[in-house]
Amino acid sequence: MDQDFTVPAEWYRTFFTAPVNAFWEAVVPEAATAADLAFLRRHIAPPPACLLDLPCGAGRHSLALARAGHRVTGVDISADAIARARAAGEGLAVEFVEADMRDFQSPSAFDAVLCLGNSLAYFPPEEVAEFVRQLAAALRPGGTLILDTYCCAESLFPLAEEREICFDGGSYHAALRYDTAHSRLDTRAELHVGGAAHQLLYSHHIVTSGALVGMVTRAGLRLQGLYAATDDTPYAPGSPRLLLVAVAP
3-state secondary structure of 18: helix
Calculate the average pLDDT of the chain. Answer: 96
pLDDT in tens, 7-22: 999 999 999 999 999 9
Residue 44 predicted with pLDDT over 70: yes
Q: Are 224 and 199 in contact (CB under 8 A)?
A: no
What residues are paired with 187 via a beta bridge? Answer: 176, 202
What are the helix (H) ranges across 89-170?
A: 125-137, 153-156
CB 49 within 8 A of CB 70: yes
pLDDT digits (tens, 9 = 90+) for 155-199: 998 888 899 999 988 999 999 999 999 999 999 999 999 889 999
Q: Is 100 helix (H, G, I), strand (E, B) or coil?
A: coil
Q: Counting runs of H as helices and runs of E as strands, what totals does the chain give?
A: 8, 11
Q: Are 95 and 128 in contact (CB under 8 A)?
A: no
In this predicted model, what pLDDT tens digit does every residue of 111-129 receive, in sequence order? 999 999 999 999 999 999 9
**Residue 97 confidence (pLDDT) above 80:** yes
pLDDT for the residue numbered 39? 99
Model confidence at 217: pLDDT above 90: yes
Adjacent-strand bridge partners of 149: 242
Q: In what order do the strands lie in the sheet with 71-76?
A: 94-98, 71-76, 50-53, 110-115, 139-149, 242-247, 222-227
* Residue 1: band (very low, low, confident or very high) from pLDDT cuts 50, 70, 90: low
Average pLDDT rounded to a whole number, residues 28-45? 97
Could you tell me which CATH number the domain at 12-150+206-247 has? Answer: 3.40.50.150
* pLDDT score recorded for residue 85: 98
